Amino acid sequence: MPQAIRSGLQRLTYVAMSILLVWHTFAMVIGPAPESSIIGAARSLAQPYLTFFRLQNEWEFFAPFVGPGYHFSYVIEDAAGEKHTFTPADRLNNWHPNSIWMRDRYTVIMTKPDVYGDAAGAALCLEHALLHPVSVTLLEVEHSEFWPVDLREGKRPTDAEFVKAKTLRTVSCPGR
């Protein structure tokens, strides 16, 4: 192939790839953008491309909304009648693989307390033997939405108005 033809083919390939890159970037920005008249017109132009490559995402594609969640807690009642509340996930090291397994364990306890509650309660009684536990109450704690304005007003995400605890099961400690 002569040099002139090869050089022209390379330029054409470069231009075509540049156009494809610009088009794809345009589609990736337009696809999940919030509605407006300009975005609507641009989206109608890019719609076949978006549909074919399944690029139709919501705006949360860039910054997903993470809603309020749940966590597992428990309350140990000791022989003196004092109650000690623990949230085991707070003690986990997120960099250690064990944290994934333990979070999964807590989730399973919350979703099936009738199946796993007694075993979890007995294990927690042994773990906190120095407190001389009488019973363990397993809790599912649900968080409500907490906004920056709440923080500015001096409130905390753990305040009673943002947290709702549901008792899953109360387990008596063995030997008590």
Q: What is the pLDDT of residue 32?
A: 81
97-154 pLDDT per residue, tens: 899 999 999 999 999 999 999 999 999 999 999 999 999 999 999 988 888 898 899 9
Q: Between β-strands 133-143 and 163-172, what pairing exists: parallel, antiparallel or unpaired?
A: antiparallel
CA distances from 55 to 31, 34, 41, 58 (A): 7, 14, 17, 10
* Distance separating alpha carbons of residues 150 and 16, to the nearest angstrom: 52
94 pLDDT above the threshold of 80: yes
35 pLDDT above the threshold of 90: no
* Distance separating alpha carbons of residues 147 and 71, to the nearest angstrom: 19
166 pLDDT above the threshold of 90: yes
Q: What is the pLDDT of residue 84?
A: 95
Contact residues for 172 (Cβ-Cβ < 8 A; gap 6+): 121, 134, 135
The DSSP H or E segment spanning 133 is strand 133-143
Q: What is the pLDDT of residue 8?
A: 85
Handedness of CA 45, 50, 55, 60 (dihedral sign): positive
171 pLDDT above the threshold of 80: yes
Percent of the chain with pLDDT over 90: 56
Cβ 13 vs Cβ 19: under 8 Å: no
Cβ 92 vs Cβ 98: under 8 Å: yes
What residue segments make up the domains of the chain, in order of their start? 3-61, 70-172
Q: What is the pLDDT of residue 65?
A: 61
Q: What is the pLDDT of residue 66?
A: 62
Which of residues 59 and 76 earns the better pLDDT score? Answer: 76
Q: What is the pLDDT of residue 68?
A: 74
According to DSSP, residue 168 is labeled E
C-alpha Rg value of the chain to the nearest Å: 28
Bridge partners, 78 (sequence order):
133
- Tokens encoding 52: 């074919």
In which band, very low, low, confident or very high, does the pLDDT at 60 lie, cut at 50, 70 and 90? Answer: low
57 pLDDT above the threshold of 80: no
Cβ 121 vs Cβ 138: under 8 Å: yes
Global confidence as pTM: 0.61
* Distance separating alpha carbons of residues 135 and 176, to the nearest angstrom: 8
